[in-house]
Amino acid sequence: MASRRTFLQSSAAGLAGLAAAPLAAAALPPVPAAGKPVVISTWDAGVNANKGAWKILGAGGYALDAVEAGVMVTEAEQGCCVGLGGNPDRDGIVTLDACIMDEKFNCGGVAALERIKHPVSVARRVMERTPHVLLVGEGAQQFAVAQGFPLEPQRLSVDAEKAYKEWLKTSLYKPVVNIENTGNRPTGPVGGPQNHDTIAMLALDAQGRLSGSCTTSGMGFKMRGRVGDSPLIGSGLFVDPAVGAAAATGQGEDVVRMAGAHTVVELMRQGRSPQAACREAVERIAAIKGAKAKDIQVAFIAINTQGQTGSFALQKGFNFTVSTSATPVLRDSEFLLK
Ligand code: SD4
């Protein structure tokens, strides 16, 4: 918490000019050779997730299978912000949001899903086996069970229970910027296995097919029934096979209000690189939020049809993982507020 206070002080000072650092060439992510696959995902949970995705991509497999399998790794890791180990809502219940999209505008999502370990796989079933794109709450759970997903016990992980009890002392809803990487879990180190985040993943496979996925437990201690950007096609994730794909993490409300991922893809359609498109979308959020921008984090990742990737964040502290081989590369993102 001390570092967050220091950070907020320094970012408040930097907000006035909304100055951004020039893009350091060394920070640019690797680009795959023509016809080679690439996968990019949010935060350092992406290191393990990308390895899961690479088992499929590296063997010439389908991007859609890769983005599902990749984020399932994070869902199973039981960190703070993805899967059933996530922080609960203010009633003490973990509710999960996820979506998935392929290279043909097929898409599916689930929101406010309870007691299901792999919401991204339920999202894929919504896409493949229903006439709909989004199922929520009880209906999503009924569908998952009918599809053979086991109903897990209704209980908090040890860390989530501790975090919830701590939260109950004040019951104030104050999302912590970069909570995904701030060592917020009592039993886990910063960036360690207990600190997982919303994970969004974008992949281009060897056949040039693009897909994306996104999965989260959402903002901890949210109102019961709150849904963020992550399961919403066009906000948390968007894929356009002619242009590229984008995904978001951070304060979902502020991604939804400007249709974040879709905006990034449209900016790429107008000729921006993935990095420049992510940056412009973040600048738009900063302009909308004004002085309140310093209180939130939002970050985008993007990929284009040539396999170039990029990211940009509002605040310091966001990182992302790119793989053009079996060895993932973790990068600190460029950011706006200095
Ligand atoms: C949400 N965008 O529910 C998610 C939160 C997030 O890492 O990205 N956390 O608003």
Q: What is the count of structural domains for the chain?
A: 1
Confidence class for position 11, pLDDT limits 50, 70, 90: very low
Helix H, strand E, coil C: the string for the chain is CHHHHHHHHHHHHHHCCCCCCCCCHHHCCCCCCCCCCEEEEECCHHHHHHHHHHHHHCCCCCHHHHHHHHHHHHHHHCCCCCHHHCCCCCCCCCCEEEEEECCCCCEEEEEEECCCCCHHHHHHHHHHHCCCCEEEHHHHHHHHHHCCCCCCCCCCCHHHHHHHHHHHCCCCCCCCCCHHHCCCCCCCCCCCCCCCCCEEEEEECCCCCEEEEEEECCCCCCCCCCCCCCCCECCCEEEECCCEEEEEEECHHHHHCCCHHHHHHHHHHCCCCHHHHHHHHHHHHHHHHHHHHHHCCEEEEEEECCCCEEEEECCCCCEEEEECCCCCEEEECCECCC
Q: Is residue 23 part of a domain?
A: no
Q: Is residue 133 part of a domain?
A: yes
Q: Name which of 195, 189, 186 is nearest 319 in CA terms.
A: 195
CA gap 154, 164 in Å, rounded:
15
Q: Name which of 222, 284, 221 is nearest 248 in CA terms.
A: 284
The amino acid present at 47, given as its one-letter code, is: V
Contact 254 CB / ligand 1 (< 6 Å): no
Q: Is residue 17 part of a domain?
A: no
Pocket perturbation via mutation, ligand 1, pick of 87, 94, 201, 251 by most ligand atoms within 8 A of CB? 251
- The tokens for 63 are 């991007």
Mean pLDDT within 216-223: 92
Residues 6+ apart with CB under 8 A from 191: 44, 181, 183
| Percent over 70 (pLDDT), the chain | 83
The amino acid present at 289, given as its one-letter code, is: K
Q: Is residue 9 part of a domain?
A: no
Is pLDDT above 60 for 151? yes
CATH number of residue 87's parent domain: 3.60.20.30
- The tokens for 320 are 């992302």
CA gap 40, 32 in Å, rounded:
12
Is pLDDT above 90 for 215? yes
The Å distance, Cα 231 to ligand 1 centre, comes to: 10
Q: Is residue 226 part of a domain?
A: yes
Q: Is residue 94 part of a domain?
A: yes
Confidence class for position 82, pLDDT limits 50, 70, 90: confident
96-101 and 298-304 strand pairing = unpaired
Mean pLDDT within 152-163: 89
The Å distance, Cα 217 to ligand 1 centre, comes to: 8
What pLDDT, on the 0 to 100 scale, is given for residue 33?
67
CA geometry: angle 64, 70, 72, nearest 5 deg: 105
Atom of ligand 1 nearest to the CA of 252: 10
Q: Which residues are catalytic?
A: 198
Residues 6+ apart with CB under 8 A from 131: none
Are 217 and 96 in contact by the 8 Å Cβ rule? The answer is yes
CA gap 85, 116 in Å, rounded:
11
- The tokens for 278 are 């992510």
What pLDDT, on the 0 to 100 scale, is given for residue 177?
67
Nearest CA to ligand 1 atom 9: 198
Q: Is residue 128 part of a domain?
A: yes
What pLDDT, on the 0 to 100 scale, is given for residue 258?
98
Contact 260 CB / ligand 1 (< 6 Å): no
Contact 81 CB / ligand 1 (< 6 Å): yes
CA gap 183, 166 in Å, rounded:
15
Atom of ligand 1 nearest to the CA of 97: 3
Contact 230 CB / ligand 1 (< 6 Å): yes
User: Structural domain of residue 48, as residue ranges?
Assistant: 29-332
Q: Per residue in 253-270, pLDDT tens?
A: 999 999 999 999 999 999
Pocket perturbation via mutation, ligand 1, pick of 41, 80, 81 by most ligand atoms within 8 A of CB? 81
Q: Is residue 224 part of a domain?
A: yes
Q: Per residue in 89-148, pLDDT tens?
A: 999 999 999 999 999 999 999 999 999 999 999 999 999 999 999 999 999 999 999 999
